[in-house]
Amino acid sequence: SPRSQQTPRSMDTIKAEAIKLIQEGIPQTPQHFQQLTTGFLVAVRGLISATQNSKVMDRFKEFIKPYGLMTLGLYALLAVVSIFLWPVFVLFPGLLIQLLSLIPFWAYKTTKKSHPLVHQQLFMEELKNVDPKIAAEVEKGFTEKKSGSSWINDTIDDTKRSWHFTKYSLILTVFSAIPVIGTIISFVGQTALVANRMGWNIFELYTQDSKHMTYAQEKQWMKANKWIIVGFTLPFALVTAVPIVGPFIVGFAQASAAHLFVEHLYKTPVPKSQ
């Protein structure tokens, strides 16, 4: 019957997407592993520097107010939803772990839309400390108007940016139904996805706000720097998965990113418009 044929096809699609997710999420060459290590080391150095920067700490206090309220609100919402949807969490145990790792991501995205200046200043204060000349160039781009920009085009680009993340998150939810191994796969996979997406979010200040890249340009730029960015964001993504306390490391990730940007990303050219 058409319905019985559709189900195998759907499973084949899920399997194909899962294989693609694994291939994209695992380093393939020694150079990839080297870039991961480099990104991790920059994250450590950047975090130490950012926490010692008094201006960053002042901006962090401004950041923590809206971000903290949003994060705690989402935790409260998850607690309420869990009361009514506990059978779903029993069937898909990895789903709860996924949601805990996604809360910092959602809180970050929401507060960046509502308080964009706070996010910019977190990054810029540390960037000025690392390289004032580059900081001035990036800051100049904030005031330049994006050519050909409209709310329709921006909405389409935002949808494209989020679909990749959402699609694989749903696939990982399906895998979480597999006892034990499924929960592990969903946790590891979701952490990798969050690390990847965190890189997109952190460097939106440069790719979108300063250089006004289209989605296609941003995708190429991120792909060229994928493994060093994931190496940088992965330790932050792991910490943010810790309920209540972990998510607040995100603000320092934003500030610390200035070091990775100056040392490894700034010279990556803006891809040509397609």
Above 60 in pLDDT, residue 9? no
Gap between the Cα atoms of 204 and 212, Å rounded = 9
Which two structure tokens, joined as six digits, stand for 266? Answer: 């700034």
Cβ neighbours of residue 17 closer than 8 Å, sequence gap 6 or more = 167, 168, 171
Gap between the Cα atoms of 122 and 57, Å rounded = 8
What are the φ/ψ torsions at residue 150 (nearest 5 degrees)?
Answer: -150, 160
According to the model, what pLDDT value does residue 76 have? Answer: 93
Which two structure tokens, joined as six digits, stand for 176? Answer: 């979480």
- The per-residue pLDDT for range 147-193, each reduced to its tens digit, is 555 556 656 666 666 666 677 777 777 777 777 777 777 778 878 88
Residue 26 or 19, more confident? 26
Give me the mean pLDDT over the 5-34 stretch: 65
Give me the mean pLDDT over the 86-111 stretch: 81
According to the model, what pLDDT value does residue 245 have? Answer: 81
Residue 177 or 23, more confident? 177
- The per-residue pLDDT for range 131-145, each reduced to its tens digit, is 999 999 999 998 876
Share of the chain above pLDDT 70, in %: 82
When computed from its CA atoms, the radius of gyration of the chain, rounded to whole angstroms, is 19
What are the φ/ψ torsions at residue 225 (nearest 5 degrees)?
Answer: -120, 20
According to the model, what pLDDT value does residue 26 have? Answer: 67
- The per-residue pLDDT for range 229-268, each reduced to its tens digit, is 999 999 998 898 788 888 889 999 999 999 999 999 999 9
Contact 179, 90 (CB under 8 A): no
- Reported as a pLDDT band with limits 50, 70 and 90, residue 95 is confident
**Which residue type is seen at 227?**
W
Give the orientation angle of helix 2-25 with respect to helix 151-175, to 10 degrees: 100
According to the model, what pLDDT value does residue 114 have? Answer: 86
